[in-house]
Structure 1
C-alpha cells in the first residue's frame, strides 16, 4: 500500500469518525446526566436528515411553489432545533416518569419510539434512498496533495470537530456545565439555590438529541437518506460509547475519532474485518476496563 493510499484511507476514516464522535457524544450526555440509554438516537439522526431533504427538495412542490426551498444553511440550524423540540416533548411527557426506575425501562421506551419513527418515515417515504447535493459554496474538490477531497467533506470534519470540542468545553469547563452535573448528582441541593432542575434536565435531553440531528443534517449529502440509516449506524455508536465510557463526553469524542481511523485503515489491510473491528475492540476494552477507557468505576 502506497503512502498516498494510506493517507487517503485515514482521511476517509476520519470523516466516519466525526459522525461517530458527534452521535456518541449526544448519547454520553443523555446517559451521563439523565441516566437514560437513548435508543431513539439513531431515529432522531434519521429524522433530521429527512427534514433537511424535505426542506431542500419537497417543501416548495408541497406548497405549490416549486421555487421555494429552505436552503442548506437554514436547515443546518432548523432541523436540529426541530428534532431537539421533539426530544424535549418526549422527555417531559414520557421519560420523566422513568428516572427513578431501572435503566432498562428507559431503553425499552426509547427503543419503542425508534421503531415508531422508523415506521412512520418508511410508510411516508418508502425504503429507497433519497439524497441531495451539498450547497454550491461547498461543491468541488480540495487538493490535499495525496488525494482530491470534496470540499463538503472537509467542511464536515471541521464543523464536527468544532462542535465536539465546543460541547466538551461547555459541559466540563463552564458554570452551566457545573449546574448540569450537579443537577444529576444532587438535584435537591441545586434546587435550593433557585435552579429549575426539571427544566435543566429537559434542555439537556433536547441538546443531546439536537446533536444527533446536527449529525443527520451533515450526513445527508454523503449518505443515502433512508428510514433505516440511523439504526444501521447506532450499533457502532453504542460500541463507541461503551469503549469510551458511559457518560464520558471526552471519551466519546476520542473513541469515535480513533475508531473511525481504525475502521478506515482496516478496510485497506483486511477489508473482511472492517465491519467487526469496532466490536472486537469493544470486547477487549470491556475485558481490560469494564467501565470504559475514560468512564468512572462504580
Structure 2
C-alpha cells in the first residue's frame, strides 16, 4: 500500500474527501454571510441560528406534514427567506446607517430568540432526520466507499454557490445590486427599487443558510445548539476570505475544509483550531482577507 509522508494514500484521500464535504458547508454558510455583509453592510450573527432552523424545519415537515427530503430542500429555504425578509423589513432597515455593532447586536438577539423558540418546541435532546432512500447507498471510489449522500452534498453545495456567484458577478441583476449598494440614489433615479433589491438579497442569504441546514440534517443529531460551533468556524472562513468577497468565501470555505482534513491525518489535535491559526496569520499579513478589498 503506497504512503504519502508516512500515511497510507487511501486514508489521506478519504480524509480529504470528507474535508471537502465539510468545506462545502463552510462555503455555503460563508457565502450567505459575505453576501449579506457585502451588499447590506450587516454582520449577521443569526446566520448559525438560521442554519439550525433549516434543519429543524425539515424535521418538522417530515414529522408533522409528511413531506420528505426533496420537498424540504425546496420549501425550507423559501420559508427561511420569508422569515429573513420579514426581519429585514421590520428591524434591519432601521439600522443600516448606524455602526456595524448595532447590526451585530440585533442579529445576536435574534439568534437567541430563534434558539429559544426551537428549544421550547423541540426540547434539547438530539433528534434524527433519516437519509433519503434515494441517496442512501455507497459510492465505490476504489480507495474508499463514500456514502452517496455526502457526494450529493458536495454537488448540491457547489452548484448553489456557483449559481449565486454567477448571478452576482456576471449578470445585469448582479451589477444592479452592486451599484445599488454603492450609490443607491443614482440607481433609484433610473426607476429601480433599491430597497426591494436589498431585501431580496438578505432573503437569499438566509435561504443559503437554511439550505445548508437541510443538507446537514441527515448527518447529525438535531439540537438547538448545532449552529454554534459551525458559525464560529464560518466567521473565521469569512475573515480569511475577505468580508464581502463572494468568490473568496467559496474558495476559502472549500480550501479550509481540505486543510482541516489534512490536519486530521497528520496532526489531529490541531484539526479544530487550524482555521483560527490561519485566520490570525492572514490578519497579520493581509487584514482585509485574501480576496477582500481595503
TM bin, normalised by shorter chain, reads over 0.9
Residues 43-192 of structure 1 correspond to what in structure 2 (within 5 A)? 43-56=49-62, 58-60=63-65, 69-192=66-189
- Distance (Å, rounded) in 2 between the aligned partners of 1:280 and 1:233: 16
- Distance (Å, rounded) in 2 between the aligned partners of 1:225 and 1:176: 37
**Structure 2 counterpart of 1:275:** 272
Q: Unmatched 5+ residue regions in structure 2?
A: 1-6
Give a deviation string over 1:244-296, Cα, whole Å, max 9, x none: 00000100000000100111111111111111110000000000100000000
- Aligned-residue Cα RMSD (Å) equals 0.7
Give a deviation string over 1:52-86, Cα, whole Å, max 9, x none: 01111x214xxxxxxxx111111101001001100
Give a deviation string over 1:167-193, Cα, whole Å, max 9, x none: 101100000000110111000110011
- Distance (Å, rounded) in 1 between the aligned partners of 2:121 and 2:190: 47
**Structure 1 counterpart of 2:281:** 284
**Structure 2 counterpart of 1:42:** 48
- Distance (Å, rounded) in 2 between the aligned partners of 1:292 and 1:219: 27
Q: Once structures 1 and 2 are overlaid, which stretch shifts more, 165-174 or 132-141?
A: 132-141
Q: Unmatched 5+ residue regions in structure 1?
A: 61-68
- SS of the residue corresponding to residue 128 of structure 2 reads coil
1:125 to partner: Cα distance: 1.2
- Distance (Å, rounded) in 2 between the aligned partners of 1:106 and 1:35: 9
Q: Which runs of 4+ in 1 moved over 4 A?
A: none
- Distance (Å, rounded) in 2 between the aligned partners of 1:276 and 1:31: 25
1:12 to partner: Cα distance: 0.4
- Distance (Å, rounded) in 1 between the aligned partners of 2:221 and 2:16: 22
- Distance (Å, rounded) in 1 between the aligned partners of 2:228 and 2:189: 41
TM-score, normalised by the number of residues in structure 2: 0.97
- State whether structure 2 residue 13 is matched by structure 1 residue 16: no
- Distance (Å, rounded) in 2 between the aligned partners of 1:97 and 1:155: 40
What is the number of residues matched between the two proteins?
288
- Distance (Å, rounded) in 1 between the aligned partners of 2:34 and 2:222: 25
Give a deviation string over 1:131-156, Cα, whole Å, max 9, x none: 22221111110001110011111111
2:10 to 4, 15, 22: 4
- Distance (Å, rounded) in 2 between the aligned partners of 1:134 and 1:293: 36
- State whether structure 2 residue 239 is matched by structure 1 residue 239: no
- SS of the residue corresponding to residue 55 of structure 1 reads helix
- SS of the residue corresponding to residue 149 of structure 1 reads strand
1:127 to partner: Cα distance: 1.4
**Structure 2 counterpart of 1:31:** 37
- SS of the residue corresponding to residue 166 of structure 1 reads helix
**Structure 1 counterpart of 2:3:** none
- Distance (Å, rounded) in 1 between the aligned partners of 2:180 and 2:202: 13
Give a deviation string over 1:78-120, Cα, whole Å, max 9, x none: 0010011001100000000001100000000000000111111
